[in-house]
Amino acid sequence: MKVDVVNLRPLEVSAWQDLFQGLLRWELWSRLGYLEIKRRYRRTIIGPFWSAISLGIFVAAIGSIGASLWNQDLGTYLPFLATGMLVWLMISTMVTESCNLFIGGSHLFRQMKFNYSILAYALVWRNLIVFMHNITIYVVIALIFMHNDILRPVVLLSIPGLLLVSINAVWLALVFGMVCLRFRDVQQLVMSVLQIAMLVTPIFWPESSLQGKTRFVFITLNPLFHFIDIVRAPLIGHVPQFQSYLITVAVTLVGWIATYVIFNQFRKRIAFWN
């Protein structure tokens, strides 16, 4: 079959221009993110709130068991579990969808010259929309168990935490999108790793359960814990650990530097890998 080289030609800009120009096209990536949410939940009455309902049922079921299993007060454990699952669901979904970023978006850049970064921004935006729907579960639980703590100023620290998660999700989307586009088996590996990561990260179980070398491996060296902590801790009335901010900022810098090098090197091949 003859390939139309003209249609496959990428937008003639540098990697930096792609990232910057794509970010400025906020009206496009925000619209793409919204339309994807609308497509997923079309012909439903409550739309994205189905995700919140599923999360609420999960938290209620696991919370009643986990509180007894780890000898936790239900009023303390349920907010901990709900906020942990809230952030984990957003992060894991972003990572999973990143593997399909350029595979599913090929119909766009095959028909027009396109800033590839727009797809990454749209992915992050639509997951933030779902996060805002899911946060209703946190509000309900906080009103029942946390009372006035939900109004404490420390809750506002979750905003820069969300910003850091979003910034990292963009480079993750670009890297996983390119790798999974070139090597399709990687997607299955990523899903397997996420399943394990969910169990070894303190989402269901409290951080205080581990001590010594085990704590160092599964908490201190676990970047997922730190990304969850900078959003979860403020929502349950605590200031995130300074170590969590330090590690997330370090991961952000290293991740973006590595991503820029990879994106700059292989950007022009994305259209040909489909």
Q: Which regions of the chain are under pLDDT 70?
A: 1-12, 106-112, 148-151
C-alpha closest to that of 94 among 18, 193, 172: 172
pLDDT at 6: 40
pLDDT at 110: 65
pLDDT at 7: 43
Q: What are phi and psi of 182, to 5 degrees?
A: -80, -40
d(CA 273, CA 109): 12
pLDDT at 12: 66
Domain boundaries, the chain: 13-273
Do residues 35 and 118 touch, judged by C-beta distance below 8 A?
no
Do residues 112 and 171 touch, judged by C-beta distance below 8 A?
no
d(CA 186, CA 93): 16
98 residue type, one letter: S
pLDDT at 8: 41
What global pTM score does this model have? 0.89
How buried is residue 128: exposed, middle or buried, by Cβ count under 10 Å (0-12/13-18/19+)? middle
pLDDT at 2: 40
C-alpha closest to that of 122 among 8, 13, 35, 227: 35
